[in-house]
Amino acid sequence: MPRTGTITEQRTTHYEGHVQGVGFRDTTLEIADSLAVSGYVQNLPDGRVKLVAEGISEELNQLERSVLQRLGNRIRETQQEVRPATQQFSQFEIRYA
C-alpha cells in the first residue's frame, strides 16, 4: 500500500516463462505488500503474467529486484513499459481474468 512520498511512475511488466501455476501471483503480492507500491498482478490467457505497479522509483526497483530474486528461475523473458503514475490504485492486489 502506498506510503508517504510522491507516486512518480507506473511500470507495466510482462513476465514470460513458466510463470503460471507456480505461486507467482501470491509471491508477488507478498513482496508488494511489504513495499510502498500499488497496482496488481494478473495471469494472462497467453501464459504470461502481467504486473502493473505504481510508486516511487526506489520502491519499484525493490519490487523488481525481489521478484527476480525469488522467481527469476521461472522467468524466461520480461518486457516493461514505464509511464507517469495515474494514481488509480489504492492497494496492491491479485486480479483474476
| Active site (catalytic) residues | 25, 43
d(CA 50, CA 78): 10
Say whether 43 sits in a helix, a strand or coil: strand
d(CA 95, CA 42): 5
User: Which neighbouring-strand residues pair with 93?
Assistant: 40
d(CA 38, CA 90): 6
d(CA 55, CA 1): 9
